[in-house]
Amino acid sequence: MDIHFISTLNPEDEDRFAPIVIGAVKAILDFLPISYTLRIVTSNARVFQHAKAESMGEPSQAAEASLAASTLRRFRAS
């Protein structure tokens, strides 16, 4: 999933607001058993990033995740 957020904030406000957005989204996603990366690049070219790696667990779950990723790539290609 790739989400783009476009705002009318001025560059200085973007720099102040970006860590708050990262924290809010992190608080939601940390409850899910997923790996993810959050990245915000502001108009001032400041980068705010957070990543979480989640273990895949059972081999069957890893196979299901691989299948889902493969299916998503095929879907995007069509």
**Residue 51 gets which letter from DSSP?**
E
Q: Domain for residue 70, yes or no? A: yes
**Residue 58 gets which letter from DSSP?**
S
Q: Domain for residue 5, yes or no? A: no
Q: Domain for residue 21, yes or no? A: yes
Task: State residue 68's pLDDT score.
Answer: 61
Task: State residue 25's pLDDT score.
Answer: 95
Q: Domain for residue 4, yes or no? A: no
Q: Domain for residue 47, yes or no? A: yes
Number of domains in the chain: 1
Which residues of the chain fall short of a pLDDT of 70?
55-78
Is the pTM higher than 0.75? The answer reads no
Task: State residue 66's pLDDT score.
Answer: 61
Q: Domain for residue 52, yes or no? A: yes
User: Domain limits at 44?
Assistant: 11-77
Task: State residue 4's pLDDT score.
Answer: 85
Task: Report whether 64 contacts 55 (CB < 8 A).
Answer: no
Q: Sign of dihedral through CA atoms 11, 12, 15, 21?
A: negative
Report the distance separating Cα 58 and Cα 76, nearest Å: 27
Task: State residue 54's pLDDT score.
Answer: 78
Task: State residue 75's pLDDT score.
Answer: 60
Q: Domain for residue 6, yes or no? A: no
